Amino acid sequence: MFNDAVGFKKIFLKVGYTDLRKGIPGLTAMIRESFGYDPYEKNVLFLFCGRKADRIKGLVFEGDGFCLVYKRLSTNSRFQWPRSEDELKEITPQQFKWLMEGLTIMPKKKIKELVTPPEYLL
């Protein structure tokens, strides 16, 4: 369930650090009060990362209650978690998959498209 985004309508990532001692009430309050989103929207995944970046929490409302998932990586492994701003950022299912595979979700630069082929290819 936690390595792919199947079944989620949207995925939001809380950029920056989150105190992972917070449980469901604390995380839902943060989602609602700090970011203005509805934590009771069904099948929307909210992701949070601690200071060490080796563990994350996922919170999703399934219609009849919340599901709180905790993932901790093995020794010397870290999530490539964006730290620059304190915001809630929507990510794509592909970015979620990259995150779970240990890759960055924010590429440094886009690969440039070839507008006209070089002379030697003609």
pLDDT per residue rounded down to tens, the chain (122 residues): 566 667 789 999 998 889 999 999 999 999 999 889 999 999 999 999 988 888 999 999 999 999 999 988 887 888 888 877 767 888 888 888 888 887 877 766 666 676 777 777 77
Amino acid residing at 104: T
This model's pTM is above 0.85: no
Count of positions (residues) in the chain: 122
**Domain parsing of the chain, residue ranges:** 10-121
User: In sequence order, which ranges of 52-104 are alpha helices (DSSP H)?
Assistant: 93-100
Dihedral-angle region of residue 59 (phi above 0 means left; psi in -120 to 50 means alpha; beta otherwise): beta
